[in-house]
Homo-oligomer: A and B are copies of this chain.
């Protein structure tokens, strides 16, 4: 591909530097522009970008006139530039310099992307997108995702110019500081107007696929021939880094498959990543790949300056209804910086004061740091309010005509759960048939689908193993987007990130997704974003131990329970039977700002006496005890499929005259949140004879069994054999508990 600098269209608008003398003559002569000293200007070496060349020509002509020192003259000239720029150019430069100045003040951050993407960002936010800055959560807003999240100053600047209260100029000055609303990468939970949490590359574009999926689904369910009540676009900006990540290929393959026509991704093709020119690692034909994925593609070669080309491309993209569109925009990273543009040095570091000065001069931006001209700010406050008001009227009409649909849509928009929804969950008695918790999970999902209008989800090509099909619905496909079974294919990572997008689209959308528990390793980065960003995704993870048997160690999770117990703000739940599975779903549905991982068995498990939904809600509770006075001889603690084993061992030990308590520790996190009093009532400090049993690593169990107790578990990889044999060989048995108990 041609380097960006050589593809600037001759007709493209450029900042012009005129030969008029500034009226700002009151400033001291050695600091004509704030922060620009004559010596810094004299020392800098200018490269031959078009604007720089023009500037050099100007300076040369001044020199030939002999009127004044050319460096000084050009600096002075720059004062006048802004006034003669178009408003678009002025806005774009405001964005660029907000990014430059914020990164400079923080001495940390990524100025390069905002400088290169300011044109496409500005055109999107100022001319294309529909939103209301004063209500960042207006349901029908267009969604924007900065997948290349390191360039977040672009987004903060755009929100500021649009008129969002969440990003004031003071916030921008506090970029990357403790407690600010402008953290180092976009975080939806810190900054209203940011839709999702990005930064880890590739996540954002996959989130955008989820947002566009949600729109297509809701539009298909709720729109009427006379009223398109759901109708917005999803835009994303992604860079070379996002393109290289496998997750983006997964999600974009699905976007093409699903025909998400209202998804428009702007690819910032700047040829530079942290290691330098992308040609050292990334020489594939990206647009050809996207065409293979079923996307419409457009190449704008003039991404720096071809505003009309950008506008035309977005217009074309919007006209393509049956395919998502990738607009590749060739840009220059750090556009405007005479010495650092088009190099990796401008990617992730402050420009440095000299180069900031040089860039000010080069782009003709004579303002103080953080200057925002009056006419480029609060641009969308009036228009945004009008858009929302118009939509509100439309919704009022809709509500009159389509009462039931409106009620359902309202609950999806608000996240308010229907009354007594939890009564739909199945209940069990010890007489109910034994079953695998993955099957019990399917009963719960199907029961919930009847009462929760926002529940939708699916599996990464394991629906019939994970037991995740909603029987009353068909498949969400290109031609049947009103359906609620999502078919993700073997794309775990994309699946997780798409579900994050769905979760953050509307408060009442409750996405679930499924694979074998061990394959959380494929999607852990997306799950961490669920946790961090407060996306209440339900992760239905079956085949949760060596109990899956013959598939062997590549498929048997060992360390996974603990690996999620230590991840902040995510609930790890391992139900033991039907009531606990129902309890796990109750917890998962109620936790809309905290994702849940449900670890479920492949193998059949009995319905245990003593289990309950209420118990699960406390995380840990007593399922049986034959002692009195909160003082059993022994406490056995189990989770999931090993709770049955603990219960069996307890029976045997009781026969031998011991008093034994059996505790289900279905969720460590929920148990931790209980009062000390409650915890003492379940695990009294005085009882130090404790044994835990779980088909996973023992590390971490010290917390509950203490230094005098024992943890029975598995501290090696699994094995390929029938499940019963592996349990026996690994000592995950009642016999082992009994032997261990006697040794205590």
Contact = CB atoms under 8 A, between A and B. Distances in A.
Contact of A490 (B241, B524, B531): B241
B293 A281 contact: no
Nearest to A241: B490
Interface in A688-744: 697, 699-700, 702-703, 706-707, 715-717, 719-722, 725-726, 729
A603 B253 CA distance: 40
A567 interface: yes
A619 interface: no
Most chain B Cβ neighbours within 10 Å, of A274, A531, A729: A274
A572 to B, nearest CB: 11
A3 B246 CA distance: 28
A292 B292 contact: yes
Interface string A478-512: 00000000011111111000000000000000000
A107 to B, nearest CB: 9
Contacts of A187: 552-554, 720
Contacts of A408: none
Interface stretch (A283-291, A578-586, A623-631): A283-291
Contacts of A246: 245-250, 491, 493-494
A48 interface: no
Interface residues of A, number: 111
A274 B494 contact: no
Nearest to A247: B246
A280 B555 contact: no
A106 interface: yes
Contact of A487 (B280, B490, B568): B280
A118 interface: no
Interface string A246-287: 111110011011000000000000000111001011111110
B109 A273 contact: no
Given A197-B554, A716-B568, A254 B275 contact: no
B285 A292 contact: yes
A114 interface: no
A563 B344 CA distance: 33
A566 B178 contact: no
A729 B274 CA distance: 30
A37 interface: no
B274 A464 contact: yes
B554 A532 contact: yes
A197 B717 CA distance: 13
A36 interface: no
Identical copies of this chain, number: 2
Interface in A362-386: none
A293 B282 contact: no
Contacts of A242: 490
A700 B532 contact: no
Nearest to A524: B521
A556 to B, nearest CB: 10
A296 interface: no
A679 interface: no
Interface stretch (A49-57, A135-143, A455-463, A639-647): A455-463
Interface in A606-635: none
Given A568-B717, A720-B176, A551 B184 contact: yes
B284 A292 contact: yes
A257 B245 contact: no
A71 interface: no
Contacts of A697: 566, 568
A681 B177 CA distance: 44
Contact of A280 (B197, B248, B285, B475): B475
Given A275-B487, A487-B275, A568-B717, A241 B199 contact: no
A13 interface: no
Interface string A302-320: 0000000000000000000
Q: Which 9 A-B pairs have the closest CB atoms?
A: A246-B246, A281-B489, A183-B720, A288-B292, A178-B721, A199-B554, A289-B292, A521-B525, A176-B550
29 contacts: A150-B551, A176-B721, A176-B722, A177-B720, A178-B719, A184-B555, A187-B552, A187-B554, A187-B720, A198-B554, A200-B519, A200-B521, A201-B490, A245-B250, A246-B493, A253-B282, A257-B282, A275-B461, A282-B489, A284-B294, A285-B292, A288-B288, A493-B522, A531-B717, A532-B553, A559-B563, A562-B566, A563-B567, A700-B702
Given A184-B720, A289-B289, A559-B568, 6 more contacts: A184-B555, A202-B490, A246-B247, A249-B250, A278-B489, A707-B707
